[in-house]
């Protein structure tokens, strides 16, 4: 119980990878079947919160492109790409 509370960084502060890793850790700990019921329930609660946050991030994700060098041309549509592909 102490452990979970000590580790409980607010989920917003975790990166996707960290949140995934913590979730994997929780599943592994539950699988080890060595936890007290109270700890299991606390871990489960945390796991569910992590899951919700991770899914939310996937749902909300919008590709961000930072152009550091050069000038990016507008993305051509798939049709345009097909027609401009030079054929030998």
Task: Report the 10 Å Cβ neighbour count for 47.
Answer: 18
Check the CA dihedral 38-40-45-49 and report its sign: positive
Site string (12-31) toward other proteins, x via CB under 8 A: ---xxx--x--xx-xx--xx
83: contact with other proteins by CB under 8 A? no
Torsion of CA 70, 71, 76, 81, to 10 degrees: -40
Nearer to other proteins, 6 or 72 (CB): 72
Size of site (CB under 8 A) for other proteins: 41
Q: How far is the CB of 2 from other proteins (least distance, A)?
A: 19
Nearer to other proteins, 3 or 24 (CB): 24
Instruction: Name residue, tokens 């607010």.
Output: 10
């Amino acid at each position: 119980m102490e452990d979970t509370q000590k580790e409980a960084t607010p989920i917003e502060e975790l990166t996707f990878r960290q949140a995934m890793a913590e979730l994997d850790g929780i599943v592994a700990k539950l699988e080890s079947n060595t936890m007290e019921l109270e700890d299991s329930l606390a871990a489960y609660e945390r796991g569910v919160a992590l899951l919700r946050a991770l899914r939310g991030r996937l749902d909300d994700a919008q590709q961000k492109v930072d152009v550091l060098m050069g000038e990016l041309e507008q993305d051509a549509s798939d049709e345009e790409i097909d027609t401009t592909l030079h054929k030998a």
